[in-house]
Amino acid sequence: MCGRFAAGHLTQKQMQEIVEGFLDGSVEVDGNAPDPVHGYHIRPTNRIGLVVQDGSGALISSANWQIAPPGGRPLINARIENTGFWHDEWENGRCMIPALGYFEWATVEGRKEPMFITVKRNAPVIFFAGFRSEDGQGCVILTREPSPQIAHIHSRMPVILSPGEMQDWLSGAMQREVAQAQLGTEWEGRFEAHRVKPLTKDAEGEEVIEPYVPPQASFEF
């Protein structure tokens, strides 16, 4: 499950330079796409940045974080195990979504508290595997069973692409069966998770993802 994530404040031009270091071929910026929402508290329906295949190269674009199937409820995540429902997207709708990490809620002393989860890496951002809708207006983030390292936090996690998986995922060279078995599983032992302040609707700024230790209750004698 991934219902909130942090994107930071990288421009499309900066993102282009980063993506060029991971992918073969040219990487262009879609000048016709609206600018994505920046910041540290990205929510469903926000316009978010993504990378899609464009001929022999890639395109930096954006889409709303939500796909509404005909007659169904809006979706923000897609289970990697589900190839039937997402058949067309598996074939022609793959994308990568840049992020700094994501939020999940864990039970701490009987209460649900927000955690920020990311992975140790050298790059400024990580990339979630995702699907973009046929009309290009919506997108979802793929999820899978969690790494054992963070399974105590939640029963699902977003599929975080390793650098070596990005090209094959985006181009379609990676077959479904291979993706279902191993996509996003190379980060074991490199996850980082810490508690953060409660996420209010106005939460913003880098402090949103910083570690938080609640103040100790005072006692009077």
pLDDT in tens, 32-50: 999 999 999 999 999 999 9
64-77 residue pLDDT tens: 999 998 888 999 99
> For position 108, what pLDDT does the model report?
77
pLDDT at 1 over 90: no
**What rounded mean pLDDT belongs to the chain?**
94
Q: Which domains does the chain show, CATH number per domain?
A: 5-199 (3.90.1680.10)
Residue whose structure tokens are 């429902």: 85
Region 87-109 average pLDDT: 93
Instruction: Flag whether pLDDT at 87 surpasses 60.
Output: yes
Closest CA to 100 of 68, 126, 70: 126
pLDDT tens, position by position, 180-207: 999 999 999 999 999 999 999 888 999 9
How sure is the predictor about 220, in pLDDT bands with cuts at 50, 70 and 90? low
Q: What is the mean pLDDT of residues 8-20?
A: 95
